[in-house]
Amino acid sequence: MSYSKNIDGWATYLKSYNRLSQKMEEKLKDLGHPQLEVYDVLWTLEQASECSLRFKELGKKVFLTRYGITRLVDRLVEQGLVERKVCESDKRGVWARLTSQGKKVRQSMWKDYAIIIKNDFSNKLTQKDHQDLIRILSKVWQED
Amino acid sequence: MSYSKNIDGWATYLKSYNRLSQKMEEKLKDLGHPQLEVYDVLWTLEQASECSLRFKELGKKVFLTRYGITRLVDRLVEQGLVERKVCESDKRGVWARLTSQGKKVRQSMWKDYAIIIKNDFSNKLTQKDHQDLIRILSKVWQED
DNA sequence: CAAGATTGACCCCTCAATCTTC
DNA sequence: GAAGATTGAGGGGTCAATCTTG
């Protein structure tokens, strides 16, 4: 993948992300934590009002495709990290709600995750690097 | 994920990559192409001397874990894109070699992939952005 | 019929166990 | 016994078909 300078940017982006995220996920797993996707769901719910979101909304906010949401949440329900509740005002919808157990698990993950992020990512960059990176990546992707 | 400025950098990196790569993969799929992982393997082989690599080497150069290599290559062999050959000097090893059909498929993918990269990534950044991005991301990850 | 979610079938990945060759 | 690769079982993603409610 080295046809031109512009392509090299993409190649570096692709490769650095995959290498780094794989390495970090491995560390989390070795510490007995769930995958990053689980963290993403738990954290997304915790940020929401009353720790609740409709499946539809949750699917949009999380990185996963909407296909996976039902089954992923099912697993979290089995583990007691999330509750589900049919929406009363529109019975087509379903709410997912973070349980107190779910909050504990997220906090426990964060304790290690934060250290990993700092060691493998943040501490390798200067403040200006961070600013530049955010500015540049925001150009190729904007929040919904 | 907004505990501090340093964490925000990671969060932006994570989210931008997942959103963008998902969108680009979708476009490739809609055009009837295989997944990016397949491109990665074909291109890695094409760059190698005589379009051949040992499985071990291929697994290291590609983003995937080594676990997936046997089965992924099996699929590519079934599709006639790759050949396999036992290594004569060390019969524990196996060589994977890109076929002419595999070259054609990679070129066909690249025709569309290059356009997608330019539209969704390269053209949104300045030359300096590209340089900065490569410089920054190289700090968090160095090639083997 | 549309929206939201679930299900079934299929595909692929993961990991540990295994096989062959060194 | 170690290195390189394969296999089987189980987990999980993907997509189309389906079900329910609006």
Q: Do B136 and A137 touch (CB under 8 A)?
A: no
Cα–Cα distance measured from residue A37 to residue A26, given in angstroms and rounded to the nearest whole number: 13
Cα dihedral angle (B104, B109, B115, B119), rounded to 10 degrees?
Answer: -170
A109, exposed or middle or buried, with CB in 10 Å at 0-12, 13-18, 19+?
buried
Q: Do B15 and A130 touch (CB under 8 A)?
A: no
| pLDDT tens-digit map of A61-100 | 998 777 789 999 999 999 999 999 999 999 999 999 999 9
Cα–Cα distance measured from residue B39 to residue B24, given in angstroms and rounded to the nearest whole number: 13
Structure tokens at B102: 């595999």
Q: How confident is the model at residue A3 (pLDDT cuts 50, 70, 90)?
A: low
Measured between beta carbons, the chain A residues lying within 8 angstroms of B121 are 6, 9-10, 13, 140
Cα–Cα distance measured from residue A73 to residue A55, given in angstroms and rounded to the nearest whole number: 9
pTM: 0.92
Structure tokens at A124: 């390798």
For chain A, the distance separating the N- and C-terminal CA atoms, rounded to the nearest angstrom, is 30
